[in-house]
Structures are given as structure tokens and as C-alpha cells.
Structure 1
Amino acid sequence: MSIRIQNIPTTTVTCANCQACCCRLEVMIITDTGVPKQHIAVDEYGAETMLRLDDGWCSAVDRETLRCTIYENRPWICREFEMGSYECITERTDSM
């Protein structure tokens, strides 16, 4: 018996075809990586997250290139969210 898995994208994710889907997720800032203050939102409990603008995108994303404008200072979670990983592919699939 063989099992056929459907709806798995076959395109490899690269910087050239990245849709920056992860940049629409809520990103907690849990370590100090030097995120500029203008990109930080603080909730009523003092928790810090990346600021998202009215369009739902992270404030640090360049809307024309879909690249991070603070890449060297991006939060730890962004560093761990690997391009092309299972999580990345899942977000891309869910956003379609």
C-alpha cells in the first residue's frame, strides 16, 4: 500500500521567490538583538513584539522587495525561522 501526499509545493524557496509570509506573523522579542525601537510594539503587560502596520506586515519589511530592512538586528525568532523549512512551506501554503 502506498500513500500519496497531495498539495506539497515542489518549488524551492529562495530569496528571489520568497513571499515573506512569515513577516505577517506575530513575532515576540525574547532576546536583545538590537531591534530598533521604532519597530517594537509593547503590550499592556510589557511584552515586546515586532510592530505590525495596518496592512498586517512587519514594519521592518520593505514592501517593494519583501526583504528585511533590519536583517542584521532581526529578532531571534526570525533568525530561527529558516527559509524553506517545514514551517516556511506551511505558511506559504496557508497564505495561498
Structure 2
Amino acid sequence: MGDDDVPVELTVEDRWGGWVMRRLDDGWCAALDRKTMKCTIYERRPGVCLEYPTGGSDCIIERSRHLTRDLTSGDA
């Protein structure tokens, strides 16, 4: 993923040829430890994760959008 030191097995090429974090079938990031809900590559996480710190306003907005979508679709 560019200059990021992300393990290649946690990435996937998107339809535009860029590299992004791989997501599991349910939409969760492949680097997330589901038991602790913590990033397993926190010390070498990609730039996009640095730009959206947990608890930051942008992060909270995105989480709200996903939560609202999941609740309205019955996926929650």
C-alpha cells in the first residue's frame, strides 16, 4: 500500500488498481482482532488509518453511518 508497511496478505487490489485493506465477508477490516476489537498491525497501520483516529470526529461520523445502515437493513 504505497509507502505503508502493511503485510501484503492484508491487502487487495481494488478495481482501479490501487491497494486497499482487505475486508472480511462481513465488512470488517482483515487486520482487526475480533476478540479484542484492536488492530493487529497498529504500529504499522496504513496512512488512511492514521488520518481517521479512533474517536475522531470523522471516525465517529463513519461509524454512525454504518451503524444506521446496519440497523435499517436488519443486519445489526
* TM bracket (short chain): 0.7 to 0.9
- Larger RCO (CA under 8 A, 6+ residues apart): 1
Q: Provide the TM-score with structure 2 as the length reference.
A: 0.75
List structure 1 runs of 4+ shifted beyond 2 angstroms.
43-46, 91-94
Distance 1:49 1:35 in 2: 10
Distance 2:17 2:64 in 1: 33
**Structure 1 vs Structure 2 CA RMSD:** 1.6
Alignment partner of 2:30: what SS?
coil
1:85 and 2:51 matched? no
Higher helix proportion, which one? 2
Gaps of 5+ in 1: 1-28
User: Taking every aligned residue pair, what percent have the same amino acid on both sides?
Assistant: 46
Gaps of 5+ in 2: 69-76
Distance 2:54 2:15 in 1: 32
For residue 30 of structure 2, what is the amino acid of its counterpart? S
Question: C-alpha displacement at 1:52, in angstroms?
Answer: 0.5
Q: Provide the TM-score with structure 1 as the length reference.
A: 0.61
Alignment partner of 1:56: what SS?
coil
Structure with higher Rg: it is: 1
Aligned length: 67
